[in-house]
Amino acid sequence: MPDMPPPDPSTSSSHAARPGPRSLSHPLSNDAFARHAETLLAVIYPERKDEVLRRLETLMELHRSRLAPRVPEGEPLWSERDQWLITYGDSVQQEGEAPLATLNDFLASRLGDCLSGVHVLPFFPWSSDDGFSVIHYREVNPALGDWQDIQRLSEQRDLMADLVINHCSRESLWFADYLAGVQPGRDYFIEMDPETDVSSVVRPRPSALLTPVHTRRGLRHLWATFSDDQIDLNFANPDVLLEFIGILLYYLEQGARMIRLDAVAFLWKRLGTSCVHLPETHAVVRLLRAIVDHLAPGSLLITETNVPHAENMSYFGLDRLSEQDLTSLEGSAQADEAHMIYQFTLPPLTLHTLTSGDASALTEWAASLPSLPAGCSYFNFTASHDGIGVRALEGLLPDHERDTLVRLVHDFGGYVSMRANPGRADTPYELNISYFDALKGTRRGRDPWQIERFIASQTLMLSLQGIPGLYLHSLTATPNHQEGVERDGHLRAINRRKWQRDELEALLSSPNTATHEVFHALKRRMTLRREEPCFHPDAHQQVFDLGPDFFVFERVTHEGRRLLFALNVTDQPRVLPLPESWQGLALTDHLCHDKAFDPAMARRPYQAAWLMEQSVRPPAIEVV
């Protein structure tokens, strides 16, 4: 799909005008919602759509008075000030204090208003997978705190909460009901004959798809996509969907603004298919979007789908919009699926770029991204609680380049998780390593540029079109946590260290540590970014191919204010070849304290620039 044409460059010296209001909050009327929901339920439950719609409307009435718009009607959903932190509730701990309270105080004292939001990873009672095997969906893990701690966090900044929707813990009350053969959990799970052919099912793990379970009715085999402690839920039973709609609305009532739909791609099962991205799954996401837009406009849904890039993009619902809609400058087209998707391609492709010293693949991919309709944006990240997924590279990099990343990760102290491929050998699924240590060197080995290379990776992520999410352990330059792998017995623990606050504060206060250098460099960038209109998520992005040594793109507001991002992706000094539309202009580098930019001077290894015309005044702010 063609990019949206940029504004007239002749207006680039205009004052600091804000982007046009493309992403607006427009709640549906009651009648419009009912018609839309009926259409979607006809896809999900064609034989029971009328019954399910009546039950849904009753459920929504119970919550209506307890929900309110998160953004006033007609106001933008987001701005350049949107910057998120990703963290576990106990990633920073202090003796004698609830970890959620410690986290809240740490964010307030160290990051202030740099952050607009925080994603607290599953904070519910759980039995495995560090929270993603939920026992009680409506409770806070008492080891972390309580709902008042969650609400205090949400009073300071926006809160993202996980709706772990595909599966639950085998220690849950629903599963106890299933084992006993009583309601409501009796029909919440998917029984399958162990002889059933499930070879066409897409797998994210090497484990068996069906897990044996002893019940009062004898031995049964249940569908378990991820592990034998994470039992998939049966969404063919509308009771399950209505249960989760109630949970979603409860999270919004407790202060969450964004709901993350965990592993949602695997939601619907139909034998003989891949059981991923099925039409019913997309219809469920669209229904949840409609409910959120109707009852709590300004709240956001984000889908977590670690799959190849084109499949991930499908959760915007772009296939239902015409090319004319997508390229409309007025932003009149309104997608009706996820508000945001995780940009899963960015972490492995950035790692490939900075360790190979070649921006070609990154440039080609970024240039191919479509313009998005109103109400959609990317959630950009490089690291999270999981590993670095490599499925998103399928079709973008040849297998031998992916295998080079695998060898690199092993060389730098990390691991690789595999996934099953029926009929052929297992293949890499994700790279388990801290993102800081993944950038220890290049394909030639370790070198002295780790900190510069890592800061470059985060600056790139902060600059791209979309909303950035920084993992806590990226902000703190946390190295591989081998002790966690040995203690917990799973590979993802390598990137899930729990900091004692006094230890972390000492590192942040010492100028001779990587933690200090990285944290303060990124905090400065976040402070600058949140005041620059060119970083509004809806500001246009145009990528330039200026050779393999540089990754270059411009961001342009609807009023014509321009900023050029340029990054030397190599470990050698390189002269930046400016795009034709930027040549001959007097430029300053906003990242270098607005010093004049000399186009003849070589850029340092891994040096990034935010270039603007000297006649354009950057926002006047004090950077601490």
* Encoded tokens for 289: 């979007």
The predicted pLDDT at position 622 comes to: 59
pLDDT in tens, 385-410: 999 999 999 999 999 999 999 999 99
* Encoded tokens for 248: 């979603």
Distance CA 374, CA 76 (A): 10
Statement: residue 15 has pLDDT above 90: no
The full DSSP string for 488-534 is: H-SGGGGG---EEHHHHHHHHH-TTSHHHHHHHHHHHHHHHHTT-GG
Model confidence at 75, pLDDT cuts 50, 70, 90, reads: confident
Q: Which domains does the chain have, with CATH numbers?
A: 9-22+539-613 (2.60.40.1180), 84-165+239-534 (3.20.20.80), 167-232 (3.90.400.10)
The predicted pLDDT at position 130 comes to: 95
Distance CA 612, CA 587 (A): 5
Q: Is 424 exposed, middle or buried (0-12, 13-18, 19+ CB in 10 A)?
A: exposed
pLDDT in tens, 430-477: 999 999 999 999 999 999 999 999 999 999 999 999 999 999 999 999
* Encoded tokens for 54: 């009546």
User: Which of 67-71, 90-94, 249-253, 271-275 is least confident?
Assistant: 67-71
Phi, psi of 552 (to 5 degrees): -135, 135
**Closest-CA residue to 5 (of 377, 535, 371):** 371
pLDDT in tens, 204-245: 999 999 999 999 999 999 999 999 999 999 999 999 999 999
Read off the DSSP letter of residue 273: S
The predicted pLDDT at position 24 comes to: 60
Model confidence at 19, pLDDT cuts 50, 70, 90, reads: very low
Statement: residue 3 has pLDDT above 60: no
- Quick count: other Cβ atoms within 10 Å of Cβ 243? 18
Q: Is 511 exposed, middle or buried (0-12, 13-18, 19+ CB in 10 A)?
A: exposed
The single residue listed with the structure tokens 């772009």 is: 318
Phi, psi of 500 (to 5 degrees): -80, 130
- Integer angstrom CA distances of residue 97 from 92, 120, 147, 566: 11, 17, 15, 44
String of b and e for 187-213 (b: at least 16 CB within 10 Å)?
bbbbebeeeeebeebbbbbeeebbbeb
The predicted pLDDT at position 71 comes to: 86
| Percentage of the chain modeled with pLDDT above 90 | 87
Read off the DSSP letter of residue 374: B
Model confidence at 511, pLDDT cuts 50, 70, 90, reads: very high
How many residues are there in the chain? 624
The predicted pLDDT at position 23 comes to: 62
The predicted pLDDT at position 10 comes to: 32
Instruction: Give the neighbor-by-neighbor strand order of the sheet with 388-389.
Output: 388-389, 424-432, 415-421
**Closest-CA residue to 299 (of 166, 167, 154, 168):** 154
Model confidence at 73, pLDDT cuts 50, 70, 90, reads: confident
Query: How high does pLDDT run on average in the chain?
Result: 92
HEC per residue, 28-71: CCHHHHHHHHHHHHHHHCCCCHHHHHHHHHHHHHHHHCCCCCCC
Q: For residue 238, give the H/E element and its range.
A: helix 238-253
* Encoded tokens for 307: 């799959």
Residue 417 three-state SS: strand
Model confidence at 20, pLDDT cuts 50, 70, 90, reads: very low
pLDDT in tens, 157-210: 999 999 999 999 999 999 999 999 999 999 999 999 999 999 999 999 999 999
Active-site choice (90, 149, 262, 437): 262
C-alpha torsion 435→480→385→505, nearest 10: -90
Phi, psi of 587 (to 5 degrees): -120, 155
The predicted pLDDT at position 25 comes to: 61
The predicted pLDDT at position 318 comes to: 76
User: Which of 78-87, 487-496, 595-604, 609-618 is least confident?
Assistant: 609-618
User: Which of 254-263, 323-332, 387-396, 407-416 is least confident?
Assistant: 323-332
149 annotated active-site: no
Helix axes 99-110, 147-156, angle to 10 degrees: 10
